[in-house]
Amino acid sequence: MNWFREIAQKLRIIKLLSILYRARLLRILIPFAIIALVYWEGQKEFQAVDWGTTLHYLHHIHPKTIFLMLIFSLLAVSVMSTYDFLIRKHFQFPIGLWSSFRYGWIANTSNNLIGFAGLTGAGLRTFLYRNHAIPIASIATSVAFLSTITFTGLSLLAELSIIGVFPIKPMIAAHPWLVYAVWAIGLYLPLFVLIQRTPLFTKWFNRDQGQLGLRIMTASIGASFLEWFFAGMTFWIIGTKFLPGLSFTHALGIFTIAAIAGIVSMAPGGIGGFDLTAMLGLQLLGYPPDKCAVVLVLFRLLYYIVPWLIGLIMAVFEFPINLKRGDQAEGSIMERALNLWQKVWRWPGQFGLIGEIGAWSLGKLVFASGVILLLSAATPGMLYRLHYAEELLSLPIMRLSHQLSVIIGIMLVVLSRGISLRIKRAYNWTLLLLCAGSFFTLAKAFDYEEAIFLLIVALLLWISRHRFYRLAVPFGKYNIAAWGLITLLIVYGYYLIGSHMHPAFLKHLPRAANDAWLLEPGEHIIVALFGLLVAWLMLSLLYLFRPKRFEITGVAPEEQAKLKAFLEHEQGNLLTHMLFTGDKSFFWAMDNRVLIPYAKIRNKLVVLGDPLGPKSLLSAAIQQFQQFSDQFALETVFYQVAPDYLPLYHENGYRFFKLGEEALVHLESFTLAGKQNTNMRTVKNRFEREGFQFEIAQPPHHPLLVERLAYISNQWLDGKHEKGYSLGWFEEGYLHQAPIALLKNTDGDIIAFASLAPGYDDATMSVDLMRYLKATPNGTMDQLFICLLEWAKSQGYSRFNLGMAPLSRVGQSQKAIKEEKLARILFQYGGSWYGFIGLRRYKEKFSPEWEPRYLAYPSSVSLPLLLVELVRLIARHPSKNKKT
């Protein structure tokens, strides 16, 4: 069992993980690096934009124009649901048309905005379709099929551009590299037609249904063409409002090239690559940069942002889960009315049943609410609204509302993380702040659009209130640093917009320039810093004075007494004696009929061994423990579980990693007779001939004995720290719980000892601490083990546990998981570090039966990281275990 510390020290696992973490961080930073590169390449074009003029144009768009453009944008987005209608029909999914439309909207809008090569839409579709009990294999096939057809429509547009239907020559002449990207995309359609005829396509992308028929192929290409064509139409319609004379063919050509550039850039939603290319194309037609920027901002807002927010609202009402009946109790008149609404219209589904993606969507809506408040505070208000608000309120109140809007915006940005994690206190404060934010944004400049949006989010939160049940979540210094950095960046963005927009906007308001602003340019930095400090202070107070925090303080004496009483009528296991060390907490499930001992490491509760209690109750007990840990956003893992219990963990969603094998000696058949035991007989005879004595000391132990054992233990440790969790350590109170085997020399002095660990099943005895003086004869531990086995046999025990051989017989199968295959390599070639093979061979001398032990962990947990955390848990000083 000491192998964990050795592996951590010798292989430097933590260093390797840090390298892996940096690699993972690198993958995250790649899109941001691409965006930065695009901006750097196109900074001349971006700097040519007068953003004050752009904002002036945006502020003076007639509401009717915005409404009409929004309606067409939403129509264009809805066209993308033809993908879902197609796979519903082709793969015969048992879902309705309205559900297909909703699922398509949620997946497509998120994929448009976030992207990542279609993985966002694929993941969301997987979650959504699973609600209809569709086999995961069918879902995977449909998503794979969909990934092959989404670019066929853009490929068709590229081909039309190549043959001159959509003029792209000016852009190709300005940037010749674009011709390669256009031809590559243009060739995708004929390549798709050829590939779909191959066996590989029919097996992996068409669920062994053979080649695509003409009808389904035409429908697939048509669905993709409609998506890209209507997106281009939206781009053209928005462009015609600000760029007179922009022809449909020129707009479609520019959109096609820009879309291809966005795909090549690999940035989320093509941001940067699409925008820069589209701006270049429009400027080549002679349009001013400011108006080109207006077109791009509106296109991003109407085709990407607004539909995505609508998709988030839709996602709130998906992914239902089962809650306790008490959560469904009748409440107010409004709640009963909403329940009646659902019964009549069958939407939005079960009231209060919001799933994981629903909570995630609410978190993003709250985040958007915070950003909207800050943007609203940083940009000028409508003059007629400001005058109307000033007639009702005084200017100081409006300025105060402006400052409070900034503070609330920052707090909502941070609290959005708590909403995604379903923390109850975050829900309470967020609901209050959304309502307050809607009031202050009205008092600031009568911005009723922002107020309505905040109230809608607040209503969605209130409807979803039963979903917020967590009492706390792990929140370390890295989380605090990350969110501190995020708020700094957002507030810095507020300052840049507020201070730099002011002078750029003034030239468009010669008569009432200052009336459009509640603050002077220099005052924005003061508002930003004050808002940041107040928000941080309030959030810090909320964190410090939270009502409940998950803590582990060890087991009190009364809990140990309860454990002893429990073991009088329930059987234990080979690890039960470790529960008397006091470093593990107890979770009593099923009305105190099942005991689950655990310790905490980072965001995980690690259960030692299998739960104790009637086997018929264990599955329900595991579920109770999962619910308990989920209240604090903690994962549960089970360490050193026996093979008989694997079906229980499997049905509760666990995966397995083989840790090694336990050496169990069947005492009835144990003997020193025979040729293979010659060496052990020789050792025993030599120690008896030389006068060494074996003795079992029964508790309670004499203080002088404990003192002698402490001397031996300290010499054996030689300055090293004790380990804990699954290992016993030298602690006087713990040693008094069981007998101790002693080996004395001819002078009667103790030279070695081994504490024992009963199995609490009247059949099994285990060895626990094994320690000896440095100057002991060869074979001392062999003699101690031989005497222990003979003593246990004489006492009527049927099994003796020699402990585990780590990584023994792990990863031998050709189909074993890669982590177990790596463990096998470590077992074979790690002798210089630990001696895995030697340890197994030593225990083989006693002819044991080997019983495997496993690690049961959720699929959401990273196995390599979990193994390192177990290293830390076991290597952690036992005195610290009691306080964590």
Per-residue pLDDT of 672-685, as tens digits, reads 888 888 888 898 99
Write out the two tokens for 25.
Answer: 């961080």
Q: Higher model confidence: residue 435 or residue 17?
A: 435
Q: Indicate if 55 and 203 belong to the same structural domain.
A: yes
Q: Indicate if 61 and 205 belong to the same structural domain.
A: yes
Cβ neighbors of 653 (< 8 A, separation 6 or more) are 858, 859
| Within-domain flag for 92 | yes
pLDDT band at 510, cuts 50/70/90?
very low
Is-cis flag, bond preceding 94, omega within 30? Answer: no
Q: Indicate if 422 and 527 belong to the same structural domain.
A: yes
pLDDT band at 532, cuts 50/70/90?
confident
Q: How far apart are CA 631 and CA 210, in angstroms?
A: 48
Q: Mean of the pLDDT values across residues 131-136?
A: 73
pLDDT of 395-441, one tens digit each?
666 667 777 888 888 888 888 888 888 888 888 888 988 988 888 78
Instruction: Please state, in angstroms and as integers, the Cα–Cα distance from residue 739 to each residue in 709, 753, 761, 808, following that order.
Output: 13, 11, 16, 29
The pLDDT of residue 28: 47
Radius of gyration of the chain (CA): 35
SS3 state of residue 661? strand
Which range has highest mean pLDDT (88-97, 390-399, 609-618)?
609-618
Cut 0.85: pTM above it: no
Q: Is the pLDDT of residue 344 over 60?
A: no
Write out the two tokens for 574.
Answer: 């080979």
Q: Higher model confidence: residue 465 or residue 189?
A: 189
Q: Tell me if 573 sits within 8 A of 610, measured CB to CB.
A: yes
Q: Indicate if 309 and 373 belong to the same structural domain.
A: no
pLDDT of 442-497, one tens digit each?
776 667 778 888 888 888 888 878 778 777 676 666 667 777 777 777 777 777 77
Q: How far apart are CA 465 and CA 419, in angstroms?
A: 10
Number of domains in the chain: 2
For strand 635-641 and strand 604-608, is the pairing parallel, antiparallel, or unpaired? Answer: parallel
| Within-domain flag for 790 | no
Q: Indicate if 174 and 294 belong to the same structural domain.
A: yes
Q: How far apart are CA 248 and CA 242, in angstroms?
A: 14
| Within-domain flag for 370 | yes
Q: Is the pLDDT of residue 327 over 60?
A: no
The pLDDT of residue 489: 79
Write out the two tokens for 275.
Answer: 């925008």
Q: Indicate if 457 and 384 belong to the same structural domain.
A: yes
Q: How far apart are CA 624 and CA 645, in angstroms?
A: 17
| Within-domain flag for 431 | yes
Q: Indicate if 304 and 362 belong to the same structural domain.
A: no
Q: How far apart are CA 127 and CA 727, in angstroms?
A: 41
Question: Taking the alpha carbons of 69, 296, 113, 192 in that order, is the dihedral positive or negative?
Answer: positive
SS3 per residue for 699-727: CCCCHHHHHHHHHHHHHHHCCCCCCCCCC
pLDDT of 134-173, one tens digit each?
777 777 777 777 878 888 899 999 999 888 888 888 888 7
Range of the domain at 528: 343-546
The pLDDT of residue 512: 43
Q: How far apart are CA 704 and CA 550, in angstroms?
A: 41
Cβ neighbors of 76 (< 8 A, separation 6 or more) are 230, 231, 233, 234, 303
Q: Is the pLDDT of residue 15 over 90?
A: no
Q: How far apart are CA 858 and CA 722, in angstroms?
A: 30
Domain boundary among 316, 332, 367: 316
| Within-domain flag for 690 | no
Q: What percentage of the chain has pLDDT greater than the value 70?
A: 72
Q: Which of 620, 628, 626, 629 is nearest to 648 (CA)?
A: 620
Q: Tokens 């987005």 correspond to what residue?
A: 77
Q: How far apart are CA 159 and CA 186, in angstroms?
A: 5
Q: Higher model confidence: residue 449 or residue 205?
A: 449
Domain boundary among 265, 299, 316: 316
* Residue 372: CA count within 13 A, CB half-sphere: 25
Mean pLDDT of the residues in the chain: 76
Q: Tokens 């958007």 correspond to what residue?
A: 368
Q: Is the pLDDT of residue 328 over 80?
A: no
Q: Indicate if 357 and 309 belong to the same structural domain.
A: no
* Burial call 790-828: b when 16+ CB within 10 Å, e when fewer: bbbbeeebbbbbbbbbbbbebbeeeeeeeebbebbebbe
| Within-domain flag for 673 | no
Write out the two tokens for 6.
Answer: 């050795």
Q: How far apart are CA 317 and CA 879, in angstroms?
A: 47
Write out the two tokens for 331.
Answer: 């409440």
pLDDT band at 10, cuts 50/70/90?
very low
Q: Indicate if 283 and 354 belong to the same structural domain.
A: no
Q: Which of 493, 494, 513 is nearest to 505 (CA)?
A: 513
Backbone angles phi and psi of 573, in degrees to 5: -140, -170
Q: Indicate if 304 and 357 belong to the same structural domain.
A: no
Q: Tokens 């018929």 correspond to what residue?
A: 616
| Within-domain flag for 502 | yes
Q: Tokens 């104790």 correspond to what residue?
A: 612
Q: Indicate if 415 and 484 belong to the same structural domain.
A: yes
Q: Higher model confidence: residue 529 or residue 845?
A: 845
Q: Higher model confidence: residue 514 or residue 273?
A: 273
The pLDDT of residue 799: 92
Using alpha carbons only, give the angle 628, 634, 639 rounded to the nearest 5 degrees: 90
The pLDDT of residue 408: 86
* Burial call 175-213: b when 16+ CB within 10 Å, e when fewer: eeebbebbeebbebbeebeeebeeeebbeebbbeeeebe
Backbone angles phi and psi of 165, in degrees to 5: -65, -45
The pLDDT of residue 717: 85
Cβ neighbors of 74 (< 8 A, separation 6 or more) are 306, 307, 310
Backbone angles phi and psi of 607, in degrees to 5: -85, 135
The pLDDT of residue 108: 85
Q: Tokens 């129509």 correspond to what residue?
A: 75
Q: Which helix (H) or strand (E) holds 238?
A: helix 214-242
Domain boundary among 492, 516, 546: 546
Q: Is the pLDDT of residue 89 over 80?
A: yes
| Within-domain flag for 44 | no
Q: How far apart are CA 302 and CA 299, in angstroms?
A: 5
Q: Which of 770, 559, 546, 767 is nearest to 664 (CA)?
A: 767
Q: Indicate if 295 and 350 belong to the same structural domain.
A: no
Instruction: Please state, in angstroms and as integers, the Cα–Cα distance from residue 723 to each residue in 13, 637, 708, following that order.
Output: 18, 20, 21
Inter-axis angle of helices 119-130 and 356-378, to 10 degrees?
130
